[in-house]
Amino acid sequence: MNFANSQIHDFSLPQLDEVSLKPISKDYYKIIAVNKIVLYAILFALLFVAKSFVDGDTFQNNFWYALTILLLICLFDFVISYLAIKKRKYAIREHDVIYAKGLLVNSITTVPISRIQHIEESRSWLARKFHLSTLNIFTAGEAGSDLSIKGLPREEAKQINDFLSSKVNGKSGLLTTD
Amino acid sequence: MEKVDFSQPIRQSSKGIIIIFAFNVIKFFKNFFALFIALAFGLVRKKSFLSLTPMNIILIILGIFIIIFIIAVLKYLHFKFHLSETDFHLSTGVINKDNKTIPKSKIQNVYIKQNFVQQLINVVSLKIETAGDKKSEIEISALDKSTALLLKKELFNRINVDSENLEVSENTNVFFKASIKRLLLEGILHNHLKSFAIIASFVLGLYYEFKDYIENLEFDMDIDGYAEYEGDTMIKFLYIYVLIIFLGLLISMLFSVVRIFIANFNLEVIENQKTLEINKGLFNKVSLSLTPSKIQNIVVKTNRLKRYFNLYSLDVKQAMANKKLSKNLGIIALDKYQINHLLNKLLSDYQIEDEVLKPETYYRRILILKSLLPIFIINSVAFLIFDVTALWLNLILVPIVILFVRLRYKKAHYNVSERFVTVGSGAVDTITNILEINKIQAVELSQSLFQKRKEIASVVIYTASKSVTIPYVKEKDAKSIYDFLLFRVESQGGDWM
């Protein structure tokens, strides 16, 4: 049967459009910002160090251009990553996990819970300070089909982890007995 | 045939020492490759290396060989396996003893292989794959063929007793045997563009390196023939380039003919009740079995010329549990009827859909935009090497690119049925990807900012062995395909393995 003929499915099927995706914690931007501030601080420092040590005329003449360009890149980067983080959203449904991301190319990936192999909750040093967690969801598929939901509030990550784990184990508990 | 008793711990065939020795020597040389290069250089330059004379070096190498040989003998002596009622046992290790027990029910696959060395001394290796992680894979590298077959049968027989998929191994017949003529034909009609591109870029790189040298040469040639040719130098150059391209094509063709012939020599497909068995290879004989339930993706390939000669190839991507590893098994030189038969066997009641859906014309525009980049790169490289005259190249290049874009768009199609997704793609090759919906691991809807404005999106479908993209369809259609696939996967609860 051809799919185009079976449009009836449309109103009986659960739809992607009906799902309200929840944005990740705003605090996650702080982590990104701290990382970026460190990176750009180093870059700016290098530039200034170079100014006081390098004697070449070409460098000294172009120093202010270089500084402006770096400043612009820095600003641009901060704005873009801020906008991009707003696009990171997730939702947990009864049978699947949905994760959306990407500013220029937006992608929405759904992993059915029955296809989850294992779940990992990881927290970096900085994330611990902001009470955030990263949830990694692994499938048996290619690398692209694994989800990594960053910047979840810790409590919520734990709840999701528990919910998914119980579902995954409930299913495979029957399978591993053979 | 003598009966081998698998219930007592036995060693592999004593020829196994040679195999282990050969493997270890190869491994040793691979690991210390850099050192050997350094040694060789040192020898050539100063007749000595680290103040060692050639005699000393030879002695050292001999010593290494002897040590490797002793290790091989010890490894052989300590490598024992046997079968019990339900398990396969293997004990290995000279200093660290290692006992492995594999329940027969966990065995996923048993492969029999034969590489060049093994062919010389007439033994085969048997590989047991399990559903566990990679470490639990076992390879017995030297067995007599009859013993290996018997062991394989034993391993499988027990499995079948306690699982429901009864396989009647007696009921087998050779379904397909590729004739040498068709194999050669397949090699000749292979898409040579890839190997040509590799060879061409290699040659171009070489040319760039030795540019000055070659130009000097050509300059000399020009002086010799200047009086005769005069205005014809341009044409002469053209001849040379056409000749070079022709030679390049010929070499890449020969290369792929030989490669395909060696890899698929004596290709035969044996049909069992439930599974398919593939045997092939000239130097590396491989014997693999396909189990329909483990197949993730099927790819049918052909091209216009091959279709004329009724030549199709079938790639089967099989997944192993809990591993990001999949096996790519190919059968080539099939005809249309055989392809349909195999598809039917591997995917129960798959129908080749007559009605197919096309991506939006926006896809063509994207393809054109994407092809501008290679055109630009080729032009700038050509410009750097051959000067302004090289821009004439566009006279050939642009029509080729246009043809490519047209073909890619023409061959792009998709179809989503109740149980299968079929996606067609390819430019020179005609590629048809087929996957069963309950094998899906994840679904992705991907949309760039520009696509969003045009209300167009792509659907990426992941299985355990590869991802398939339905490119550039209407956002509404993409979403309903997305919802439909998820609905099928989640409501059926079918397993993907």
- Look up tokens 């705003």; give the residue: A26
- Cβ A115–B441 below 8 Å, yes or no? yes
- Cβ B415–A178 below 8 Å, yes or no? no
Q: What confidence tens digit (pLDDT) does each residue in B290-312 have?
A: 878 888 889 999 988 888 888 99
- Please, which pLDDT band fits residue A153 given cuts at 50, 70 and 90? very high
Q: What are the structure tokens assigned to B38, written together?
A: 């350094």
Stronger pLDDT, B494 or B304, i.e. the higher one: B304
Pick the closest to residue A162 from A126, A129, A128, A133 (CA basis): A133
Q: What are the structure tokens assigned to B478, written together?
A: 């993409």
In this model, does residue B164 exceed pLDDT 50? no
Residue B418 sits at the chain A interface (C-beta within 8 Å)? yes
Distance in angstroms (rounded) separating the CA atoms of residues B273 and B173: 9
What is the CB neighbour count within 10 angstroms for residue B168?
A: 10
In this model, does residue B491 exceed pLDDT 80? yes
Residues of B in contact with A7 (CB under 8 A): 480
Residue A124 sits at the chain B interface (C-beta within 8 Å)? no
In this model, does residue B74 exceed pLDDT 80? yes
Distance in angstroms (rounded) separating the CA atoms of residues B295 and B345: 12
Q: What confidence tens digit (pLDDT) does each residue in B6-37 have?
A: 788 888 888 888 888 888 888 888 887 777 77
What is the distance of C-alpha B150 from the center of its chain? 29
> Which of B418, B479, B493 is closest, CB to CB, to A1?
B418
Residue type, A117: Q
Alpha helices in A54-142 (DSSP H): 57-86, 125-129
Q: What is the pLDDT of residue A109?
A: 94
Q: DSSP per residue over B415-479, as a string?
A: EE-SSEEEEEE-SSEEEEEEEEGGGEEEEEEEEEHHHHHHTEEEEEEEESS-EEEEEEEEHHHHH
> Which of A17, A104, A140 is closest, CB to CB, to B322?
A140
Bridge partners, B432 (sequence order): B300, B424
- Test the A interface: residue of B163, B324, B459, B470 with most A CBs within 10 Å: B324
Contact A100, A88 (CB under 8 A): yes
- Cβ A16–B483 below 8 Å, yes or no? yes
Distance in angstroms (rounded) separating the CA atoms of residues B239 and B221: 15
Residue B379 sits at the chain A interface (C-beta within 8 Å)? no
Residues of A in contact with B446 (CB under 8 A): 105-108
Residue A150's Cβ-count burial label (10 Å; 0-12, 13-18, 19+) is buried
- Cβ A110–B480 below 8 Å, yes or no? no
- Out of B79-88, B130-139, B446-455, pick the least confident: B130-139
Contact A134, A25 (CB under 8 A): no
Q: What are the structure tokens assigned to A168, written together?
A: 């995954």
- Look up tokens 């290069």; give the residue: B37
In this model, does residue B48 exceed pLDDT 70? no
Distance in angstroms (rounded) separating the CA atoms of residues A142 and B307: 32
- Cβ B353–A9 below 8 Å, yes or no? no
Max Cα-Cα span within chain B: 89
Helix axes B193-209 and B233-264, enclosed angle (nearest 10): 130
- Please, which pLDDT band fits residue B231 given cuts at 50, 70 and 90? low
Residues of B in contact with A103 (CB under 8 A): 449
Distance in angstroms (rounded) separating the CA atoms of residues B449 and A106: 8
- Please, which pLDDT band fits residue B220 given cuts at 50, 70 and 90? low
- Cβ B489–A139 below 8 Å, yes or no? no
Question: Which residues of A, range 19-58, sit inside 8 Å of B by Cβ?
Answer: none
In this model, does residue B92 exceed pLDDT 80? yes
Q: What confidence tens digit (pLDDT) does each residue in B53-71 have?
A: 778 878 888 888 899 889 8
**Positive or negative CA dihedral for B222, B225, B231, B233?**
negative
pTM, entire model: 0.75
What is the CB neighbour count within 10 angstroms for residue B192?
A: 22
At residue B326, the 3 state secondary structure works out as: strand
- Cβ A104–B467 below 8 Å, yes or no? no
Residue type, B152: K
- Test the B interface: residue of A98, A114, A118, A147 with most B CBs within 10 Å: A114
Distance in angstroms (rounded) separating the CA atoms of residues B189 and B185: 6
- Cβ B447–A105 below 8 Å, yes or no? yes
Contact B333, B264 (CB under 8 A): yes
Stronger pLDDT, B326 or A138, i.e. the higher one: A138
Contact B319, B298 (CB under 8 A): no
In this model, does residue A41 exceed pLDDT 90? yes
In this model, does residue B320 exceed pLDDT 80? no
Distance in angstroms (rounded) separating the CA atoms of residues B277 and A87: 49
At residue B94, the 3 state secondary structure works out as: coil
> Which of B319, B415, B493 is closest, CB to CB, to A2?
B415
Sheet bearing B420-425, strands edge to edge: B326-334, B312-319, B295-303, B429-436, B420-425, B413-416
Q: What confidence tens digit (pLDDT) does each residue in B407-435 have?
A: 999 999 999 888 899 999 988 889 999 99
At residue B254, the 3 state secondary structure works out as: helix
Q: Give the E-state strand segments of chain A in sequence order.
A: 22-23, 89-92, 96-101, 105-112, 116-122, 132-139, 147-153
Max Cα-Cα span within chain A: 76
Residue B245's Cβ-count burial label (10 Å; 0-12, 13-18, 19+) is middle
Q: What is the pLDDT of residue B163?
A: 42
Count Cα atoms within 13 angstroms, Cβ side, for B71: 14
Q: What confidence tens digit (pLDDT) does each residue in B244-265 have?
A: 878 888 888 888 888 888 888 8
Q: B248-256: which pairs have CB atoms within 8 A and are 24 or more residues apart?
A: B248/B196, B248/B199, B248/B200, B248/B203, B249/B192, B249/B196, B251/B199, B252/B192, B252/B195, B252/B196, B252/B198, B252/B199, B253/B188, B253/B190, B253/B192, B255/B195, B255/B199, B256/B187, B256/B190, B256/B192, B256/B195
What is the CB neighbour count within 10 angstroms for residue A137?
A: 25
Residues of A in contact with B353 (CB under 8 A): 2
Residue A139 sits at the chain B interface (C-beta within 8 Å)? yes
- Cβ A145–B484 below 8 Å, yes or no? no
Q: DSSP per residue over B113-166, as a string?
A: EE-HHHHHTT-EEEEEEESS-GGG-EEEEEE-HHHHHHHHHHHHHHHHHHSS--
Q: What are the structure tokens assigned to B301, written together?
A: 């390939």
b vs e for B204-228, b when ≥16 Cβ sit within 10 Å of the residue's Cβ?
eeeeeeeeeeeeeeeeeeeeeeeee
Residue B184 sits at the chain A interface (C-beta within 8 Å)? no
Q: What is the pLDDT of residue A48?
A: 87
Q: What are the structure tokens assigned to B419, written together?
A: 């149980």
Nearest CA in chain A to B464: A141
Residue B74 sits at the chain A interface (C-beta within 8 Å)? no
Distance, first Cα to last Cα, chain A = 37
In this model, does residue A176 exceed pLDDT 70? no
Residues of A in contact with B321 (CB under 8 A): 140
Residues of A in contact with B418 (CB under 8 A): 1
> Which of B321, B445, B462 is closest, CB to CB, to A142?
B462
Contact B82, B138 (CB under 8 A): no
Eight-class DSSP state of B105 = G
